[in-house]
Amino acid sequence: MSARTTAILYDAPGDILSPSSASQYLGCSAKYFYRKVAKIDDPPTGALTLGSSVHAAITEHFLQNIETRRDLDAIGVAAIYKAEWDKRAKQTEFRDDEDPAEMKAQGLTLVLKYLEEACPQIEPAAVEHHVSGYIGGVLVQGFIDLLDTSGRIVDLKTAAKKPNEVSSDYAFQLATYAQLCPEASGESRLDTLVKTKTPQLVRIDAKTDQAAIDQTQKLYPLVQQSIRNQTWLPNRSHFMCNRKYCGAWRHCQRDFGGTVSE
């Protein structure tokens, strides 16, 4: 990398990790550097804004249930979603193939689908539950989307395609939370709202095993050491290495050569 780029560092990078930051480093350490260390501006795409707005509305629904033991009705949840979308859209860099009005309407459809099909079956105990502790000698923290009264972790995501299994990133995240959250039972469920023409809700149950826990205990120290050694390498073969998904692609081409695909 150029001296100008590597000079832009904050104090003690990697001192505190999270499942998402570790996965981001393992996916593309150069992208981790541009986002977390060099602080290169990387505005969200429409897809990210849709997912964040859906998540915020559903979180508020569960939060009210915990605080009042009364559900927020569909009109209230829809209003929260629309307000979140409008606020977040102002900082969004919509891609050429993203229509903001269509995406806003699509997100509302997904929110209402989850509210009808999933929410009545969930008894929330905590939402956006902060956890922290040491794994493999590394300080790790994170936020659990939702913990139900049985100790099951429920994670909500939006996706363009229907998932067939729990991804390796998600399994790593669950194994992390299983160790940091005393209330967690080890059982979890991934709820994915799929943005197909006819929206779908796909639920996949998962259970954390010892192999997944062992992986976190080995990888967190390796990731931390690599960050402290300032090991930054682009992963041009990664499916997310694309100008559409990475706002730092110009910096990456300048520092490492080659061409980031369109």
The predicted model gives 114-137 an average pLDDT of 96
Mean pLDDT on 96-124: 95
Please give the average per-residue pLDDT across 91-102, as a whole number.
92
Please choose, from the candidates 101, 113, 107, the residue with its C-alpha nearest in 3D space to the C-alpha of residue 74.
113
Confidence (pLDDT) at 243: 82
* 178, two tokens: 């299983």
Please write the tens of the pLDDT for every residue from 187-246. 999 999 999 989 999 999 999 999 999 999 999 999 999 999 999 999 999 888 988 778
Which secondary-structure segment (H or E) carries 158?
strand 153-159
Residue 252: both structure tokens together: 């990456």
What number is the average pLDDT over the span 55-65?
Answer: 96
The whole-angstrom distance between residue 33's C-alpha and the CA centroid of its chain comes to 18
- What pTM, to 2 d.p., does this model score? 0.86
Query: What are the tokens at 115?
Result: 């509210």
Per-residue confidence band for 5, with pLDDT thresholds at 50, 70 and 90: very low
Residue corresponding to tokens 């659990």: 144
Q: Where are the domains of the chain?
A: 46-215
Residue 19, both tokens = 């499942």
pLDDT of residue 9: 39
pLDDT of residue 129: 95
pLDDT exceeds cutoff 60 at 8: no
Q: Kindly report, residue by residue over 165-190, the tens digit of the pLDDT.
A: 988 999 999 999 999 999 999 899 99
Which uninterrupted H or E stretch holds 217?
helix 210-228
Q: Tell me, what's the pLDDT at 2?
A: 34
Is it the case that residue 27 has pLDDT exceeding 50?
Answer: yes
pLDDT at residue 7 in the model: 38
Which of 50 and 7 is assigned the larger pLDDT?
50
Phi, psi of 208 (to 5 degrees): -80, 130
Distance, in Å, from the CA atom of 51 to the CA atom of 59, rounded to the nearest integer, reads: 12
Q: How confident is the model at residue 11 (pLDDT cuts 50, 70, 90)?
A: low
Select the more confidently predicted residue: 20 or 13.
20
Instruction: Encode 100-135: b = buried (16+ Cβ within 10 Å), e = exposed.
Output: eeebbebbbebbbbbbeebbeebebbbbebebeeeb
Rounded to the nearest 10°, the torsion over CA 220, 169, 188, 214 is -40
